[in-house]
Structure 1
Amino acid sequence: MSLGISSITIFPFLAPLNHYSPMLLLSWATVLSASPALAKIAQYHQLPPLREQADIQDAWNSERISNIPSILQKYGIDAWLMSQKEYAEDTVFWSLKSANQFSARRRTVNLFIANPAEGTPSKYTWIDNTSQVWDDIILVLEEQKPAKIAINADEGSAFSSGLHVGEMGIFKEKLGYRWAERFVIERMIAIEFIAAMVPSRLPWYKKLQATTWAMIEEGFSGSVITPGETTNELTPDVEWWLRSKIQQMNYTTWFHPSVSILGGRSPFPPNESAVVIEYGDLLHVDFGVTALGMNTDTQHMAYVLYPGETEANIPKGYLEGLKQVNRLQDIVRDNMKVGASGNSILKKSLGQMRVEGFEGRVYSHPIGDWGHSAGTLIGMFNLQDSVEVLGDIPLLPDMYYSIELYAEHFVPERNATMEFFLEEDVFWNQKSESFEWVVGRQEEYHLIYSLTNNLLDKLRTDL
């Protein structure tokens, strides 16, 4: 939690320094950085043993697969057919597989039936490298008599276009014209299956998000950052510290963290040149973790306090900029109505933003099984009028969604208009029938308190 005081006023009672371990002193540097609101949310969560993780994921998987017949019925499809070879998997395979599967084996075929004949299953799986598999599939098709068989050959969505050209040719050759002429493309089947999150996933997703916040909170602290020395990306500096922390916690990630200095000293998006972090800098991080088959995506900001400063010394323009980008978050979330297209949400949000007298960009996306997951897009960084195809998809319930954007605000202390970036994940709350923050959102800056010179010398000597 924040003590509301600087290192200058807190560390005198720590003398003599040799009475305290370097790790204890580092922990003080981290504690000083945490505001009450952020510290309440930012908590580390250890992952369970691998066997337990597999059991958890397989239970989620079974629950999700049980929903496939109703998805097929919703779109008027009788069967859904997928086929893939090892290392040439259909995109949907990764959301269908068990926790212990690392790739498809031989030829793996999945067939789902919307309304199975009495006494027959709705799901069939074959793992085979002989021609027998096609005879078996034809027997099932003869029994089930589907009029429309969906295949994943859509041109507009990666999640609905995972059927390889070679497998399509085999389908037509081995199943024959009678069944091939019933093939149809319905992109929403794969999109909805991947996008829809079962309720039992949410408790662990909240833990992943809280852990993401905790890693950012520690990374944006005096235990990691020494103004005038630490850079945003060079080993072992902030970006690589975050990567190492992910590995230490037995998590993984789906993209390399990026740390930038806002306001002109470091470009956004960051380039490959490292920049030394100085007192008074406004920092930005884009960061996410992966675990249990789920992904997070978060962007936060931090302020580097001068020695002797507290949160009361943050430039007023920075505080107002944070409120402005919070307001844009509210606008987007309020416009996220189930059934509305991403393009219509984008248009309404940007229109409302401009009516309220400020500028910014909205480039929000689904998240879950993938960092950029299946579903409608609410803008892209370079597409602020509309997004072809994916922007026309309706917003679905039961999704996790990443509200990613920035707002512009004039900062008198810098005599410049600056861009304030935030990103937070939301989930569909079935009770309120609205999208709500998974664990919260940033409304206060992470604060990087400076350590006194003699303390820094002691830490360098002992470590």
Structure 2
Amino acid sequence: MLHFTHVKVIYLYLLLAICTNSQDSTAIKVPEYHRLPPLREQAAIQDAWRDQRISNIPHILQKYGVDAWLMSQKEYAEDTVFWSLKRATQFSARRRTTQLFFANATEPIKPVYTWIDNTPEVWESLLDVLETQDPKTIAVNVDAEVAFSSGMHAGEYGKIKNRLGRKWNERLVSEPMIAVECIGTMVKDRLPWYRKLQETAWAIIEEGFSERVITPGETTTEDVEWWMRSKIQELNYTTWFQPSVSILDGRDPFENLTTSDQMTTINFGHVLHVDFGVTAMGLNTDTQHLAYVLYPGEDESDIPQGLLNGLKNANRVQDIVKSNMKVGVSGNEILKACLKQMESEGISGRVYSHPIGDWGHSAGTLIGMFNLQDDVPVLGDLPLLHNTYYSVELYAQYFVPERNATMTFYLEEDIYWIGEEEGWDWVYGQQKEFHLVKPPLSDLFRVQGL
């Protein structure tokens, strides 16, 4: 038999549920899933992007005062840059794949040469072209610090030096910004599809952080992670890292947790965090969002004000970072400007933003790292490039009176370069409201054992 108190509670929640449902018609547009085109069409799209990127290489070489750029690799020992310049139907380098690019090719020399060979003839052909064009400097990817510029394997480098001889060895140089800018520059035609990937990532998060997936008191954070992985597979996408779902309770969600810690059960009133990305068509996204698990019958007006203020604080840090990202300025200088402005506005937090695109953590300068908030050696000293994508990744701390605790609000969104006057903008959007898990009234009965 139902106790009078139970009846009263149920009645009140029914009224609240009715009010909540009446407000749903004014909800903001829900992000949509985007299906990928057929594989053949994808390949044509990606190859068009590749051709645009290759056409920009002479300009990059001219910018850094280098006459030629030489890459060479064997199957399964590819140079990092290979993956940004290959055709969509290439799954690895074949035999020995050697590529030579010129800054100012003159007839009869072409601006781009590619040899796929496993005989000594490749070196004879390479030497013939070099003798004809006579480049004074030839860049090779052997930098000791920048990963994207150090892709030539030691054995291949030794082979090249042995085959080219002293004359050409003296002209080999390392210029790390060539590979960085080649990989980091996003051709304009990529943006429409990058938006679709980003919206798809939002859509997966939106559904994953909802009552369609989460049953408070039963669903674990690991359940949601694997639901997201399954959804990615269902859409024929993939990902570059395992989704990470956590309950924000004062612990660092990125620390190495044990299996038992990962099996954390989600419940009413929890603040959820996800770090998530999708991969398709040679592009990667990176997103961190927050959600709130309502009690049955509640709506967004019932979210504690302290949590809303914390999210708003993190949004402010996002805007600070975006506004301080000046092309040509180093990541370390941008980091210093961001932290100074945060301090002046009374905001405590950290900034650790990175380039994205061909790789999840792609080529370009780093604006802080999670554990490096003074400066980032080498990578933080690189200049910020235009025509690239960035993940604005950070956190802000805020004291939440309703929890009597200082909580950390983690956010991450991808941005793209518009132009000199406009600067940067969000690829899809900026999370300004919590995703909401809205349990049905039946969950109240279940929890109360009715």
Give TM-score, length-normalised by structure 1: 0.90
Give 2:198's match in structure 1, choosing from 190, 209, 213: 209
Structure 1 partner of 2:248? 262
Q: Map of 1:178-327 to 2, 5 A cutoff?
A: 178-233=167-222, 237-264=223-250, 267-269=253-255, 271-272=257-258, 273=261, 274-327=263-316
Give 2:136's match in structure 1, choosing from 132, 135, 147: 147
SS of residue matched to 2:372: coil
Contact 1:83 1:167 in 2 (8 A): yes
Q: Distance in 2 between matches of 1:377 and 1:419?
A: 22
Structure 2 partner of 1:108? 97
Could you say if the C-alpha distance between residues 88 and 133 of structure 1 is closer, same or farther in structure 2, counting changes exceeding 3 Å? same
Structure 1 partner of 2:3? none
Of 448-457 and 153-162, the range deviating more from structure 2:
448-457
Q: Distance in 1 between matches of 2:405 and 2:373?
A: 23
SS of residue matched to 1:179: helix
Contact 1:8 1:307 in 2 (8 A): no
Q: Map of 1:38-57 to 2, 5 A cutoff?
A: 39-40=29-30, 42-57=31-46
What does the per-residue CA deviation read over 1:341-384, in whole Å, with 9 as the maximum and x for residues that have no partner? 00000001001101111210000000000000000000000000
What does the per-residue CA deviation read over 1:244-263, in whole Å, with 9 as the maximum and x for residues that have no partner? 00000000000000000002
Structure 2 partner of 1:23? none
Could you say if the C-alpha distance between residues 265 and 171 of structure 1 is closer, same or farther in structure 2, counting changes exceeding 3 Å? closer
Q: Distance in 1 between matches of 2:250 and 2:324?
A: 32
Q: Distance in 2 between matches of 1:214 and 1:154?
A: 40
Contact 1:262 1:284 in 2 (8 A): yes
What does the per-residue CA deviation read over 1:419-441, in whole Å, with 9 as the maximum and x for residues that have no partner? 00000000000274401101110
What does the per-residue CA deviation read over 1:98-126, in whole Å, with 9 as the maximum and x for residues that have no partner? 00000000000000011112232100000
Q: Which amino acid aligns with 2:296?
A: P
Could you say if the C-alpha distance between residues 260 and 352 of structure 1 is closer, same or farther in structure 2, counting changes exceeding 3 Å? same
After TM superposition, give the deviation of residue 271 of structure 1 in Å: 1.8
CA RMSD of aligned residues (A): 2.2
Q: Map of 1:284-433 to 2, 5 A cutoff?
A: 284-430=273-419, 432-433=421-422
Structure 2 partner of 1:36? 27
What does the per-residue CA deviation read over 1:5-35, in whole Å, with 9 as the maximum and x for residues that have no partner? x9945988xxxxxxxxxxxxxxx99x99998
What does the per-residue CA deviation read over 1:429-462, in whole Å, with 9 as the maximum and x for residues that have no partner? 02744011011100000000012328999xxxxx
Structure 2 partner of 1:24? none
Structure 2 partner of 1:434? 423
Q: Distance in 2 between matches of 1:335 and 1:200?
A: 26
Could you say if the C-alpha distance between residues 144 and 51 of structure 1 is closer, same or farther in structure 2, counting changes exceeding 3 Å? same
Q: Which amino acid aligns with 1:408?
A: Q
Structure 1 partner of 2:84? 95
Could you say if the C-alpha distance between residues 440 and 383 of structure 1 is closer, same or farther in structure 2, counting changes exceeding 3 Å? same
Contact 1:287 1:297 in 2 (8 A): yes
Q: Distance in 2 between matches of 1:241 and 1:107?
A: 42
Q: Which amino acid aligns with 2:218?
A: E
Give 1:174's match in structure 2, choosing from 163, 166, 169: 163
Q: Distance in 2 between matches of 1:260 and 1:268?
A: 9
Task: Give the % identical residues.
Answer: 64
Could you say if the C-alpha distance between residues 249 and 7 of structure 1 is closer, same or farther in structure 2, counting changes exceeding 3 Å? farther
Q: Distance in 2 between matches of 1:214 and 1:456?
A: 30
Q: Which amino acid aligns with 1:69?
A: P
Q: Distance in 1 between matches of 2:25 and 2:257?
A: 28
Q: Distance in 2 between matches of 1:304 and 1:87?
A: 47
Could you say if the C-alpha distance between residues 94 and 8 of structure 1 is closer, same or farther in structure 2, counting changes exceeding 3 Å? farther
Q: Which amino acid aligns with 1:91?
A: T
Q: Distance in 2 between matches of 1:282 and 1:136?
A: 62
> Is structure 2 residue 439 aligned with structure 1 residue 453?
no
Q: Which has the higher contact order (CA 8 A, sep 6+)?
A: 1
Contact 2:140 2:172 in 1 (8 A): yes
Give 2:75's match in structure 1, choosing from 76, 82, 86: 86
What does the per-residue CA deviation read over 1:288-347, in whole Å, with 9 as the maximum and x for residues that have no partner? 000010000000000000111110000000000000000001111110000110000000
Q: Which amino acid aligns with 2:419?
A: Q
Q: Which amino acid aligns with 2:238?
A: T
What does the per-residue CA deviation read over 1:148-188, in whole Å, with 9 as the maximum and x for residues that have no partner? 00000001111000010001110111111110110000000
Q: Which amino acid aligns with 2:316?
A: R
After TM superposition, give the deviation of residue 145 of structure 1 in Å: 0.3
User: Where in structure 2 are there 5+ consecutive unaligned residues?
Assistant: 1-11
After TM superposition, give the deviation of residue 43 of structure 1 in Å: 1.1
Q: Distance in 2 between matches of 1:355 and 1:324?
A: 13
SS of residue matched to 2:177: helix
Could you say if the C-alpha distance between residues 292 and 267 of structure 1 is closer, same or farther in structure 2, counting changes exceeding 3 Å? closer
What does the per-residue CA deviation read over 1:18-74, in whole Å, with 9 as the maximum and x for residues that have no partner? xxxxxxxxxx99x9999834x34x111110000000000000000000000000000
Could you say if the C-alpha distance between residues 455 and 357 of structure 1 is closer, same or farther in structure 2, counting changes exceeding 3 Å? closer
Q: Distance in 1 between matches of 2:281 and 2:15?
A: 43
